[in-house]
Chain A
Amino acid sequence: MTRTRTPGISRRSTLALMGAGAMTFAAPWVARAQAKTIKIGMPTILSGRVAQLGTSSRNAVMLEVEKVNAAGGLAGRQIEMVIRDSKGQPQEAARVARELVNTDGCELMIDAEASSGAFAVHEVARDLGVFCIHTNSETSALTADPKQHIPNAFRTARQGVHDSIVGGSYAAAIAKAKGLKKWATCSPDYAYGRDTTAEFTLYLKRFAPEVEIISESWPKLFQPDYTEVVTKILQAKPQALYSCLWGGDLTSYIDQANIYAMFSQMEVFAVNMADYTALTVVKNLPKGIHSGNRYIKTFPSTPENAAWGDAYKAKYNEYPTNWSWENATAIMLMAEAAKKANLADGKKIAEVLKGLTIKCPFGADGTVTMRGDDHTLVGYAIGWGTTIPQEPYVPEVKAGDWKTIFELEAEWKKSKGYT
C-alpha cells in the first residue's frame, strides 16, 4: 500500500494548523491575550429606581478608562468597556455576567451590582475563574466570609461593617450627649439592609450600652409606599432612628416621613443620605440628618478629591455618587496592578493586587490599599456628619479612625467565625 501526499501541504504543516486551530478554540484566553484591546465586562443597574447610581458607576469607569487609554492602556492594551444593564435583578446580573465572558470575550470583569446582584455575579466569577472586582456591594460578608473567598475576586466598595464601626461610635456619642436611649431601625429587607443594621446596632450598643432597639421595620427593596412604616415608627415613639435605605427608596421614605414631621420628632441617622444623588433629588431636605459620607467632594478635604469631583461634574454635568468613587478606584487599582505586572492578564493582576497600595483621591491619607487576606479595600475616607439643605450639604465630617476600625473589625470577624 502506497501513501499519497497532498501536493503543497505537508502532513506536518497540516498537523500544525490543526493544532493551532484547536488551541484557538480550546483556549480562548490564549487567543484573546494576543488581541490589542482588552475587553472589560461590566454588569450594572441602568434602569429602575437605582439607575442613577448605575449610570454614575458607568460614568466614573469611563472617566478613568479614558485616562488609562490616553496613557497607553492597560499594560499597553487599550481598554474596551462592555457595559450591560441587569435591571437590578440578580438572575439577570448573573446571566449578563456569564454572557460578557463567554460571548463578548471579556477578559476582566467589574461587577457594579448592588448586593442583591453581587453575590450572583460572584458565583459566576467563581465558576468561570474570571478576574472580577465588586465595586458597589457593601454587604460585609461578600469578602469577609471565608466561604465566599475566591482568588480571582476583589472588592473596591466601602463595607457595611466599616461604616457601622464609625457610625456606631459616632451615634453612641450623640446618644450619650442627648440621652437617646430608645431607638428604631428601618432598613431594606435584603442582605445589605439586614447585615448593616445588625452591625450598626452592635457598635451603637457597644459604645452606648443603655440604648434599646424598640422597633424594627424591614420594607422590601424598591417598595413604593412607606406610609405604614412611617406610622409604625411614630407609634413606637423612638428618640432616634437608624436607616440604611438608599437611592430612590431613601428619597421616597424622606418625602413620606417629611409630611408626618418625623424629622422634628426624633434624631435620624441615615447612613446613605450624604450622597449627591439623594441630596440633590430630595426637594425638601430636612436639616440635621446624620449620615455617613458617601461621595462628597469636600471629604476628604484635599485638592485631589475636589478636582476629581469637579472633573466628573464638568464631563457629566452632575456630581458623582458613592458608587462613582468605588468604580473609579477599581480602574485605578487595575491600571496600577497591570503596570506593575507589565501584563494585562487577570491572574497576574490578581497576584499583584493583593496588598497593593495606590495613591487615590478617596483615601483617608491620600492612599487606599487592597488588603491581601480578604481582598477588600481599606484606607478609604470614612466619616459621619450632619446634613444641611444646600452645598456643601455636610459641612463638617467627623473622620473615622482606621486603627479603631481594624481592631473592631478583627473582633467582629472572630465573633462571626470568619477567622
Chain B
Amino acid sequence: MDLDALAGCLSSSACLVTQTTSGLIIGMLLFLVAVGLTLIFGVLKVVNFSHGAFYMFGAYFAMTAYQLTASFALAMLAGAAGTAILGLIFERVFMSRVYGADVLMQLLVCYAFVLIFDDVVRIIWGPEFKSMGMPSAFQVMPLFIAGGVVPPYYLLLIGVALVAAIVLGIGLSRSRIGKVIRAAAHNPGMVSALGINTGLIYGGVFALGGMLAGLAGALAAPVRSLTPGMGFSVLIESFIVTVIGGMGSILGALIGALLLGLIRSFGSLGFPLFTEGLMYLFMVIVLVSKPTGLFGKEAA
C-alpha cells in the first residue's frame, strides 16, 4: 500500500491528467467489449462466454488487413466488419439452436467455441505471439496536457469508443430499429406476431455485439501482442464490467467500464500489489449493496 503516492498524485494536475487518461483508455476498451456482451444478454438472454474470441478475431483481422494494405482505417474496418460477419454466422448456425436452453448448456457450448476459435487462430496465424505495430501517423511524441502525458493514439481510441457509445445509445433509444430491438428483448412473441422477423433481429444484435468486440480488438492491436487465447482475460474483465453495470444495461456497461479503468489506473499507484484485487473488491461491494448491478433492473 502506497497511500502517499496516491495522495501525491491527487494533488498534482500532471498526475491527474495522466492517470485519468490512462483509466479512460482501459475503461473505453473494456466498454466496447462489455457493451456487446450486455447487449446480447439483454436481447437474446444468452451469456455469451465466447465473446472474448471476437475481440481476438478483431485484432487478427486488423493486423492482417494492415499487413496487406498498410492502411490503418482499412484495418479498423476489417476488424469490425469481419467480426460482425463472423458473429452473424455463429449466431445463425450455432447459437440460435441453444436459445431457451439451460444456462449451463449455453455456457458449455460457448466454452467449446472458445477452444475451437483459439485453435482456428492457431492454425491460421500460428501459435506464436504477433505484433501489428503502431501506424506511422501515431508514431509521434505524446501530448503534454497540464504536465500530464497523453499519447495521441489513445485519444483516438477514447474518441472512437465514445462515438460508438453515443451512436449505440441514441440508436437504441430513438431509432425505429432500436425500438424494435428493445421490444424484441421484452416480448419476442409479440414482435413476432406483428410480422417482424425476430431471427433477423437476434442475428443482427449478435453481429453488432461481435462487431463492437472486434472493433475493440482492432483498436488494441497496435499496442498489445496478439496471441491465440488473448480474448480470455478481456472477457473476464468484461464480465466484471457487465455485472457491476447491471446485465443488459448499456449505460451500466459504460459507467462500469470507466469506473474499473479508473480503479486500475489510480489503484496501481496507491495499491500496487492489490490492483487486480481492487476490481474484484469493487464488484463485491456493488453486488452486496445492489445485487442487480448499478443500472440493472429487478426481475419482474
Chain A residues within 8 Å of B, Cβ to Cβ: 46-52, 55, 216-218, 220, 222-225, 227-232, 234-235, 247-249, 251-252, 255-256, 258-261, 277, 281-284
CB–CB B131/A216 < 8 A: no
Q: Closest approach, in angstroms, between the C-beta of A252 and any C-beta of chain B?
A: 4
Q: Which of B15, B129, B134, B275 contacts A283 (CB 8 A)?
A: B134
**Complex: A17 Cα to B88 Cα, angstroms:** 66
List 21 interface pairs A-B (beta carbons < 8 Å), by A numbering.
A47-B118, A47-B127, A47-B228, A49-B225, A49-B229, A52-B128, A52-B129, A218-B273, A222-B233, A224-B233, A225-B29, A227-B265, A231-B268, A232-B272, A234-B18, A235-B18, A235-B19, A252-B224, A256-B224, A282-B131, A284-B139
| B18 contacts across to A, CB distance below 8 A | 231, 234-235
Q: Which residues of B, 189-229, contact A by the 8 Å Cβ criterion?
A: 220, 222-225, 227-229
**Complex: A233 Cα to B76 Cα, angstroms:** 30
**Complex: A249 Cα to B268 Cα, angstroms:** 18
Question: A232-B268, A252-B225, A259-B154 are contacts. A227–B22 as well, Cβ < 8 Å?
Answer: yes
B141 at the interface (CB under 8 A from A): yes
Question: A51-B127, A55-B128, A218-B272 are contacts. A234–B229 as well, Cβ < 8 Å?
Answer: no
CB–CB B141/A47 < 8 A: no
Using an 8 Å CB-CB cutoff, how does the interface string of B48-68 with A read, 1 for contact, 0 for none?
A: 000000000000000000000
| A222 contacts across to B, CB distance below 8 A | 233
Q: Closest approach, in angstroms, between the C-beta of A249 and any C-beta of chain B?
A: 8
| A230 contacts across to B, CB distance below 8 A | 22
| A234 contacts across to B, CB distance below 8 A | 18, 149
Across the interface, name the chain B residue whose C-beta is closest to A220: B276
Across the interface, name the chain A residue whose C-beta is closest to B154: A259
Chain B residues within 8 Å of A, Cβ to Cβ: 5, 9, 15, 18-19, 22-23, 25-26, 29, 118, 122, 127-134, 138-139, 141-142, 149, 151, 153-154, 220, 222-225, 227-230, 233-234, 264-265, 267-269, 272-273, 275-276
CB–CB B141/A48 < 8 A: no
Q: Closest approach, in angstroms, between the C-beta of A279 and any C-beta of chain B?
A: 12
**Complex: A372 Cα to B23 Cα, angstroms:** 52
Q: Closest approach, in angstroms, between the C-beta of B270 and any C-beta of chain A?
A: 10
Q: Which of A251, A261, A284 contacts B129 (CB 8 A)?
A: A251
CB–CB B225/A231 < 8 A: no
**Complex: A247 Cα to B129 Cα, angstroms:** 8
CB–CB B134/A52 < 8 A: no
**Complex: A259 Cα to B26 Cα, angstroms:** 15
Q: Which of A228, A259, A277 contacts B223 (CB 8 A)?
A: A259
Question: A224-B233, A225-B224, A260-B142 are contacts. A235–B269 as well, Cβ < 8 Å?
Answer: yes
| B138 contacts across to A, CB distance below 8 A | 259
